């Protein structure tokens, strides 16, 4: 018990140092305290100076086996590492037992993609629509078709201009623009990297219809998609319009713009199997970011197998 009590006193001293010298908030101190008390419980009577590297690895494995998520384990390891860094200046400590220990890798969650049927139903003209479409409806359809046709990020789509414009008259140069003659859009993605992405026929038809009624922008810019006030449409307004349209279309999913980007990538990969082409169209700097759609594609194939193969489910 004396060893445990002595260990607890070291923890109290460290937390007091964090409070007085680093001026951490009470909330942050509580989090450090919880993490350090967990280490105190796991290590039992083992003195801090005798705690070995392999023992800390065992504690990490125990937390993981107990269902603690990797993010929380990483936070605990960070708290423990800071404590031992401080302790090394207060006692004789040969090495920090946390050196080289990392939290388990977080499982990559698969992106949410619509089925082909739901994606097409979402972006197709509304069947219940009577008479000529209003400008806002035409704008929405062009935006939704283009999101699914080209897999754009919402920021890339809302930054598009009707054509390339150089910086002049107080307006910045275009970050992205539509090139109807070449059937493509040019966009500026992450890291200020520009890329060209093909535009499908259905999206071109929708864009042509919208451009036929698009009013001049209120600020004189060449913004491709406009709000009802004539200003460049914002990502938030696009999100709200897509969500409302998905609810009206009775799509059984939480639909947001990135779902259409995921659907584009998944459906192109299912049809072509060309991972490198999907990487280029999405603007991923690393193929690793695109490979998640391989798992999504396999998930789709496994579902098809379960539904279609006569021996998939034995009765």
190 a catalytic residue:
yes
Residue 126 has pLDDT above 80, yes or no: no
148 a catalytic residue:
no
pLDDT category, 131, cuts 50, 70, 90?
A: low
Residue from 190, 193, 201, 303 carrying the catalytic annotation: 190
121 a catalytic residue:
no
Quote the mean pLDDT of the chain.
Answer: 85
Q: What is the pLDDT of residue 53?
A: 87
Residue 313 has pLDDT above 80, yes or no: no
Instruction: Give the whole-angstrom CA distance, residue 267 versus residue 197.
Output: 16
C-alpha 273: how far from chain center: 23
166 a catalytic residue:
no
Residue 130 has pLDDT above 60, yes or no: no
Instruction: Give the whole-angstrom CA distance, residue 313 versus residue 310.
Output: 7
| Residue 17 main-chain phi, psi, to 5 deg | -65, -40
pLDDT category, 109, cuts 50, 70, 90?
A: low
Residue 38 has pLDDT above 60, yes or no: yes
Residue 22 has pLDDT above 90, yes or no: no
User: What mean pLDDT comes out for the span 33-49?
Assistant: 90
Residue from 14, 32, 59, 293 carrying the catalytic annotation: 293
User: What mean pLDDT comes out for the span 191-211?
Assistant: 93
Residue 188 has pLDDT above 90, yes or no: yes
Residue with tokens 């994606």: 119
pLDDT category, 51, cuts 50, 70, 90?
A: confident
Asked if 114 and 263 touch (Cβ cutoff 8 Å), the reply is yes
261 a catalytic residue:
yes
**CA distances (Å), 108 to each of 141, 289, 295, in order?**
32, 11, 10
Instruction: Give the whole-angstrom CA distance, residue 232 versus residue 151.
Output: 20
Residue from 214, 261, 262, 267 carrying the catalytic annotation: 261
Q: What is the pLDDT of residue 103?
A: 76
Residue from 153, 245, 262, 267 carrying the catalytic annotation: 153
Report the share of the chain in percent with pLDDT over 90.
43
End-to-end distance of the chain based on CA atoms, in angstroms? 60
303 a catalytic residue:
no
CA dihedral 47, 50, 55, 57 (to 10 degrees): 110
Count, residues in the chain: 315
User: What mean pLDDT comes out for the span 178-187?
Assistant: 94
Q: What is the pLDDT of residue 214?
A: 96
Residue from 121, 196, 258, 300 carrying the catalytic annotation: 258
User: What mean pLDDT comes out for the span 73-94?
Assistant: 87
pTM (whole model) above 0.75? no
Q: What is the pLDDT of residue 110?
A: 59
Residue from 57, 64, 81, 284 carrying the catalytic annotation: 284
Residue 2 has pLDDT above 60, yes or no: no
pLDDT tens digits, one per residue of 244-303: 999 999 887 789 898 999 888 888 888 888 888 888 888 888 887 777 777 655 454 444
Q: What is the pLDDT of residue 295?
A: 63
Residue 111 has pLDDT above 70, yes or no: no
């Amino acid at each position: 018990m004396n060893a445990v009590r002595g260990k607890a006193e070291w923890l109290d001293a460290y937390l007091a140092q964090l409070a007085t010298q680093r001026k951490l908030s009470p909330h942050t101190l509580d989090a450090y305290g919880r993490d350090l008390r967990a280490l105190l419980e796991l290590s039992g009577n083992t003195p801090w100076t005798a705690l070995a590297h392999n023992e800390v690895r065992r504690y990490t494995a125990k937390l993981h086996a107990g269902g603690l998520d990797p993010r929380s384990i990483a936070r605990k390891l960070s708290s423990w590492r800071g404590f031992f860094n401080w302790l090394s200046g207060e006692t004789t400590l040969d090495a920090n037992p946390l050196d080289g220990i990392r939290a388990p890798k977080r499982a990559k969650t698969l992106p949410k993609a619509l089925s082909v049927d739901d994606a097409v139903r979402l972006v197709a003209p509304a069947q219940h629509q009577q008479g000529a479409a209003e400008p806002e409806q035409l704008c929405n359809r062009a935006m939704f078709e283009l999101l699914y046709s080209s897999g754009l990020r919402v920021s890339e789509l809302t930054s598009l201009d009707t054509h390339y414009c150089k910086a002049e008259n107080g307006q910045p140069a275009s970050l992205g623009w539509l090139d109807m003659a070449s059937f493509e859009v040019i966009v500026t993605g992450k890291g200020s990297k520009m890329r060209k992405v093909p535009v499908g026929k259905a999206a071109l038809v929708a864009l042509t219809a919208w451009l036929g009624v698009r009013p001049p922008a209120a600020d004189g810019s060449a913004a491709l998609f406009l709000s009802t006030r004539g200003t460049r449409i914002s990502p938030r307004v696009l999100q709200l319009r897509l969500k409302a349209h998905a609810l009206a279309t009775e799509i059984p999913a939480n639909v947001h713009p990135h779902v259409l980007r995921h659907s584009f990538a998944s459906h192109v990969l299912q049809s072509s199997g060309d991972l490198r082409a999907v990487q280029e169209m999405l603007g991923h700097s690393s193929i690793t970011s695109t490979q998640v759609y391989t798992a999504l594609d396999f998930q789709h194939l496994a579902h098809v197998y379960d539904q279609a193969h006569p021996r998939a489910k034995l009765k």
